[in-house]
Amino acid sequence: MNPLTQLIEAALFSAARPLTVEELQTLEPDASLSDVRQSLDQLRERYDFNQHGIEVVELAGGFQIVSRAHFAAALERAQFTVRTPKLTGAAMETLAVIAYRQPVGRAEIEEIRGVNAAGVLRTLQERDLIEVVGRSDELGRPLLYGTTNLFLELLGLRELAELPRAEELTIALHPHVPEEPAEGEAAAYVESES
Amino acid sequence: MILTRFTETGPEPDHRLHLNQSGPPSTALGGDPGFVVQLDAYSGPLDLLMHLLREEQIDIADIPIARIADQFLGAIHQLGLNQAADYLDMAGRLLRLKAQMLLPRRLDDDTWEDPRHELVRRLLEYQQIREIVTWMERAVERRASQYARGYLPPPPVLPPPPLTLDLIEMLSAVERVIAAIPSPMFHRVVPRPLDVEGATVRLEALLAEKEEFGWLEALGPRPTITDVLSTFIALLELARRGRLNLVQPVPFAPMVIRRESTHPAD
């Protein structure tokens, strides 16, 4: 392993959060971003080739050293690690709606889920999984929500694009077209109201 | 419960075949009125509705509204959800749909639009969300089994607990605050007039005499604190007028006073 790879290994080992390529580059000003990426690849291959109990994963836009998944049960049994409590179904549903429709307001979330979402939104905000990303131009200027980096980390995703795309799902969701929502929504509304 | 079960009164050709009014509302929910399912069992009215449709193996494109509305009402009654506004809202929508379906229409009426369309759209949309949730739960599970070193999920920031106190507590708190206020202290201000003018005269005399002199020299012998302050202010004032330069060669060194070359001593 070259010195840069060693340095990056030390950084990933000591940091408790995913580190981005840019952050890792600050370790060694002479190294380029592609040097850092190369070192990360080298480290990952080394862990895989030598069958280490840990691996380098890419998530939430950064890299992290984690224990391999198939040791989880043993680690938990020995109580070396504690599994984070699961989110409730309501929280997951709300996260799903926000992930796909962001930036999205509370009214739209409630319309899709059919339930009041105030409490869940507060909980998700407290857990830093969603954040307020702006305000809508609609009446009352309601807050708009989006997902955070911690959300990606929770799911072990590099980016939102890794979520299954609408056309990969068995049921096609009617596309959310921001350009002409008023017409379609209004028509649907009248239809159900008349 | 205000909402009472409708009985079929009008023709509903599409759904007559499915109707089974005498049977139990749903095999899944049972007929035992004493059985109350936890509210958490369903994440909302759409979830409950999907559950009913699945149980009855109903095609989502052709929902027998009358039957499903009745079952929904029965279910929320049994679930003890009568107070939950979200469920009652859906119950109301279903009953309105049911009424719309009962309205007579001509077979050749091309303008007729299926009032169930909006409900079907919402159900499909919701079903897709459920599908995404299943995918996300698998991702979370996978991720949760990989432990990072010393990884601690950030603790949730809890809002401060609501303040609860009664009048007596508040009044005693006010008393404690008042008791903690110290009695007012008076300062005697003793005037110590600075003699800036005298110091200026002395400095100008020194400037006329010497090109350069030190701070201690400017102060004169045995200066009082008033002398030091007066001299300092006079020095600053003369420097401002461009009569002299104040130089400190190195930090904390004594000040050197130099005559300004453009203003020769007069």
Kindly state whether residue A40 falls inside one of the protein's structural domains.
yes
Kindly state whether residue A81 falls inside one of the protein's structural domains.
no
Report yes or no: A114 and B126 within 8 Å, Cβ to Cβ: yes
A62 shares a domain with A94: no
Q: Which amino acid is at B212?
A: E
Share of chain B above pLDDT 70, in %: 74
Contacts of A11 in chain B (CB under 8 A): none
A95 shares a domain with A141: yes
Phi, psi of B37 (to 5 degrees): -85, 145
The most confident of the ranges A76-85, B13-22, B139-148 is B139-148
Smallest CA–CA distance from A124 into chain B, residue: B156
| Contact criterion met (CB < 8 Å) for B44 and A114 | yes
Tell me the nearest-neighbour CA distance from A69 into chain B, angstroms. Answer: 5
pLDDT tens, residue by residue, B81-132: 655 777 888 888 888 888 888 877 767 667 777 778 888 888 888 888 888 8
Average of pLDDT values for B31-53?
65
CA dist., res. A105 & res. B208, Å (int):
80
Count A/B contacts: CB-CB distance under 8 Å: 144
| Contact criterion met (CB < 8 Å) for A113 and B129 | yes
Task: State the pLDDT at residue A37.
Answer: 93
- The structural domain count of chain A equals 2
Contacts of A98 in chain B (CB under 8 A): none
Q: Which amino acid is at A186?
A: A
A98 shares a domain with A62: no
pTM for this entry? 0.55
Kindly state whether residue A12 falls inside one of the protein's structural domains.
yes
Contacts of B93 in chain A (CB under 8 A): 192
Kindly state whether residue A187 falls inside one of the protein's structural domains.
no
Kindly state whether residue A192 falls inside one of the protein's structural domains.
no
Task: State the pLDDT at residue A40.
Answer: 94
Tell me the nearest-neighbour CA distance from A171 into chain B, angstroms. Answer: 6
Task: State the pLDDT at residue B155.
Answer: 56
Tell me the nearest-neighbour CA distance from A92 into chain B, angstroms. Answer: 6
Domain coverage including residue A100 = 89-175
Of the three residues A42, A70, A98, the one that is the final residue of a domain is A70
What's the CATH number where A102 sits?
1.10.10.10
Task: State the pLDDT at residue A44.
Answer: 93
| Secondary-structure class of domain B196-259 per CATH | mainly alpha
Residue ranges covered by each domain of chain B: 16-104+113-139, 196-259
Interface test with A, best of B90, B114, B128 (most A CBs within 10 A): B128
Indicate if the pLDDT at residue B2 is higher than 60. no
pLDDT tens, residue by residue, A137-192: 888 888 999 999 889 988 988 888 888 876 666 555 444 444 444 444 444 444 44
Kindly state whether residue A131 falls inside one of the protein's structural domains.
yes
| Contact criterion met (CB < 8 Å) for B137 and A66 | no
A96 shares a domain with A37: no
CA dist., res. B18 & res. B236, Å (int):
103
Q: What are the b/e assignments for B3-21, b being 16+ CB within 10 Å?
A: eeeeeeeeebeebeeeeee
Average of pLDDT values for A16-32?
88
pLDDT tens, residue by residue, B214-266: 888 888 888 888 888 889 999 999 989 888 888 888 888 888 888 887 655 44
| Contact criterion met (CB < 8 Å) for B86 and A115 | yes
B window 158-177, beta carbon within 8 A of A: 158
Smallest CA–CA distance from A93 into chain B, residue: B133
Question: How much is the CA Rg of chain B, to the nearest whole Å?
Answer: 46
Least confident of A117-121, B51-55, B80-84, B183-187: B80-84
